[in-house]
Amino acid sequence: MRIDNPKILAALPELGVELRPGQAMSELTSLGIGGTTDLLRIKKHEGIPDLLNLLEQHGVPHKFLGGGSNLLVGDGELPWVVMTLVKPDPDVVLSGNFAQIDAAADLGRTVTYCAKNDLGGMEGLIGVPGTIGGALRMNAGAYGMQIGSYVREVKLYRAAERKIEILRHDQISFEYRHTSFAPDDMMLAVKLELPSKPFKEILQGIRICNEKRRSSQPLGQKSAGCIFKNPPGKSAGRMIDELGLKGLNVGDARISDRHANFFVNAGSASAKDMLTLIGDVRERVNKAFDVELEHEVVVWNG
C-alpha cells in the first residue's frame, strides 16, 4: 500500500517518522518472504499516538513490525503499511540489576551486553533472532526460561487507550508463547531485573545453549523458528518427524531435515507455498494424532 495523502506525508517529519516507499518485506523477515508496502520508521516514541490517529483518520491500515524473525508475510502488494521502531543509541542502559531496554534492541546483543556486565538469566535466549520487543510480546523462551520472568515494567502504546503507558509486571500475564498484551499494542521499552552472575559462568551457559541449538536447529537457513506451538505435553517437531515429513516441500518452502518444526525457505518460496505446506502438515498431524496444531509463527496475510 502506498501513502499518497499529502496531509499524512507533510506530517511525518514532525512526528519523527521516516517513510521508505515500496519496501520489500522479504528483506525484513528472516524467512525472506513477503511482498511490498510503505514502511514508516519511527524515531521517537512520543510521536506514535499522533501517527496512529492520523493513519486511522485517513483510513490507512497498518501493522507493527519487530525483528521480523517470527513472521510470515503475504505476497505481492500488501494492503497495509508497516511501522517499525528505529533503534536509539544507546538501546540498553544498566543500573544495578536493572536493564532498561528499547524494544528495537537486538535480543542476542542485549543478552551478551548484560552478560558482559555480570547480569545473567537470559542465557537460553542466545541465538534466538529478533528484537527485545518481539521477544516480549511473544514471551520468547528456550531451554527452560522465558523472558517474562525477568520483566519488571513495560512501556507500550496501548491501542485501546490510544496513549503510551507503563505497565508493572503484575499487570501483565506471561504464558507459553503468549502474553496479555492486545494484538495492536506496541511494545516500546522494557525494564528487566536480572540476577547477578559472573560473566564466565554466564558464558558457560551461553555456550551450552548455543551448542544444543546448533545441533538441533537449521541455523544457517532462512526460517521463522518453530512454525507450530507445542501442544500441552507434546512436541510438534517430534510428531511431524514421526510422520516422516522432513524434507517435504511445496516449491521452495521445505520442512527442515534437521528439525521438523522448522520450515525453511530453500530459495525463492512464496507465502502461498509456505502456507500450503503449513496447511498440509496441520491436516496430516490432525489425521494421525488427532491434534490441532496452532501457529507459533505470526501470519500477516491479507
Interacting residue ranges for ligand EPU, rule: CB under 6 A? 142-143, 216, 225-226, 229-230, 235, 237-238, 241, 259-261, 296
Nearest residue by C-beta to ligand EPU?
A: 225
Smallest gap, in angstroms, from Cβ of residue 265 to ligand EPU? 15
Nearest CB to ligand EPU, comparing residues 55 and 187: 187
The grid coordinates of residue 276 equal: 500450503
Decide whether 38 or 123 has the Cβ nearer to ligand EPU: 123
Q: Which of 177, 213, 258, 284 is catalytic?
A: 177
The stretches of the chain forming alpha helices (DSSP H) are 6-11, 48-57, 107-116, 132-138, 199-216, 236-242, 271-289
Q: Is 177 a catalytic residue?
A: yes
CB of 140 to ligand EPU, least distance (A): 7
Q: How far apart, in whole angstroms, are the C-alpha atoms of residue 264 and residue 278?
A: 11
Please indicate whether residue 226 is annotated as part of the active site: yes
Residue 81, C-beta contacts closer than 8 angstroms, at least 6 positions apart: 1, 3, 37, 38, 39, 40, 55, 60, 61, 62, 63
Q: How far is the CB of 41 from ligand EPU (least distance, A)?
A: 26
Closest CB to ligand EPU among 34 and 237? 237
CA distance 204 to 208: 6
Least separation in angstroms between CB 224 and ligand EPU: 7
CA distance 295 to 95: 37
Which residues are part of the catalytic machinery?
A: 177, 226
